[in-house]
């Protein structure tokens, strides 16, 4: 028998850890990075997606994985690539792009660019966000990639890299095309990225109006200026797509981003957008369940310098409490015992598993509180003796069946 033979691993939810955790959380109903049932909010939208940034929680998903015509909301992908170029230093706000005949000829919403003029990136951004200019999108596409076709190939490649599972682009502007599609989830995750990854550029989305060529146009986002914390992002409308909005708002230390697609008219878009924000902010409260580094359980260590290691969360655990949810939670800590030494500080050891009525199972990783080096002679002798004793008890020491 050698010290290299560990005991058979056992799936080990400790009763003490479970009871202690449940007692600590008895007053809480917890939602962690999970989706609430769509029935929690009834919307007229064909598809919808709502996300809480602080707790990384999807509050609602209705037909969120269905590819639909996104109309001008897909301009967010064009802006994302432009913002990336700005962040990388490939262009600056003062960089100018030449307007082509193809750009000037674009129909629909326009910035009213003229062929041959050179337009600075700082003006093309509000031309896309505020004016929803199809001509501005083509100008950006050609300025960054040479042709709109080449830019579209980059859009699709970048969408795959970002994990936009249902997105496929046929142009830079959202102009109607049978193969131009995005899901509500795609749009929402792209919007979350733009809020969080481009903090210096994101304020462009709250611009209320913009004047170009002597023509002033107002931002079509119906939430801006209502005093409800809204500061972005993009509207969309075509006959096929209906009316939609990718919106975001911040109140206190919470931000909510949402997508609505396929609404029947401008009024419905405005009403549903305000309603869904009020629901998201007023029907949930943020609670801190556990702090990073707070020990939630201990696990035995095989041949370690010390016999146990604490299990902790790597990050603070902030969760949402639905106002209408009164059911108690069930919680348990699961890990394979014992943990074989050496153990590194921060090494993933197990999981905190929570089950919430009507929501399902939610998991968070638990890591080692401290490093545990491999033990010396005494721990190894003790481990060998324990293994021999267990095998003698279960009859495997002498090959018994």
Is 132 one of the annotated active-site residues of the chain? Answer: yes
Q: How many CA atoms does the CB half-sphere of 137 hold within 13 Å?
A: 32
**Eight-state DSSP code of residue 212:** E
Catalytic one among 62, 72, 234, 273?
Answer: 72
What burial class does residue 120 get, using C-beta atoms within 10 Å of its C-beta: 0-12 exposed, 13-18 middle, 19+ buried? middle
Is 206 one of the annotated active-site residues of the chain? Answer: no
- Stretch (H or E) spanning 310: strand 308-313
Catalytic one among 74, 100, 109, 132?
Answer: 132
Helices (H), 162-237: 184-197
Is 75 one of the annotated active-site residues of the chain? Answer: yes
**Which token pair is 99?**
């307007």
The position carrying tokens 């986002």 is: 221
Q: Which residues contact residue 301 at a Cβ distance below 8 angstroms, ignoring those fewer than 6 apart?
A: 307, 308, 309, 338, 339, 340, 341, 343, 372
User: Which of 211, 206, 67, 189 minimizes the C-alpha distance to 133?
Assistant: 211
Helices (H), 4-145: 15-24, 75-88, 101-104, 121-129, 134-145
Helices (H), 283-375: none
**C-alpha of 346 from chain center:** 24
Ramachandran bin of 139, using left for φ above 0, alpha for ψ from -120 to 50, beta for the remaining angles: alpha
Residues known to be catalytic: 72, 75, 132
């Amino acid at each position: 028998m050698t010290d290299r033979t560990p005991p058979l691993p056992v799936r080990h939810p400790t009763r003490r850890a479970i009871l202690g955790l449940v007692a600590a959380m008895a007053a809480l109903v917890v939602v962690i990075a999970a989706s609430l049932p769509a029935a929690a909010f009834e919307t007229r939208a064909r598809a919808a997606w709502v996300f809480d940034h602080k707790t990384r929680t999807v509050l609602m998903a209705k037909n969120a994985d269905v590819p639909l015509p996104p109309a001008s909301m897909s301009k967010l992908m064009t802006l994302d690539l432009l913002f990336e170029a700005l962040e990388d230093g490939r262009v600056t706000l003062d960089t100018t792009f030449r307007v082509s005949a193809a750009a000037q000829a674009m129909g629909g919403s326009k910035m009213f660019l003229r062929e041959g003029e050179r337009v600075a990136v700082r003006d093309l951004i509000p031309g896309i966000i505020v004016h929803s200019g199809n001509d501005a999108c083509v100008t950006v596409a050609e300025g960054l990639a040479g042709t709109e076709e080449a830019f579209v190939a980059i859009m699709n490649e970048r969408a795959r890299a970002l994990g936009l599972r249902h997105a496929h682009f046929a142009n830079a502007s959202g102009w109607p095309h049978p193969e131009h599609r995005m899901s509500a989830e795609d749009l929402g995750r792209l919007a979350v990225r733009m809020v969080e990854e481009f903090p210096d550029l994101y304020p462009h989305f709250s611009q209320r109006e913009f004047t170009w060529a002597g023509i002033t146009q107002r931002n079509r986002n119906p939430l801006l200026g209502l005093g409800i914390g809204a500061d972005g992002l993009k509207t969309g409308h075509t006959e096929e797509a209906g009316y939609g909005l990718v919106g975001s708002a911040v109140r206190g230390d919470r931000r909510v981003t949402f997508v609505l697609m396929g609404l029947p008219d401008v009024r419905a878009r405005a009403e549903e957008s305000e309603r869904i924000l009020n629901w998201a902010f007023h029907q949930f409260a943020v609670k801190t369940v556990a702090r990073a580094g707070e020990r939630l359980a201990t696990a035995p260590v095989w041949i370690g310098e010390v016999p146990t290691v604490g299990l902790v969360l790597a990050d603070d655990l902030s969760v949402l409490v639905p106002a209408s949810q009164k059911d108690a939670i069930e919680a348990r800590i699961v890990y394979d015992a014992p943990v074989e030494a050496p153990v590194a500080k921060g090494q993933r050891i197990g999981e905190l598993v929570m089950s919430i009525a009507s929501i399902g199972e939610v998991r968070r990783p638990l890591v080692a509180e401290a490093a545990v080096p491999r033990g010396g002679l005494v721990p190894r002798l003790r481990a060998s003796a324990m293994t021999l004793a267990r095998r003698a008890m279960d009859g495997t020491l002498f090959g018994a069946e």
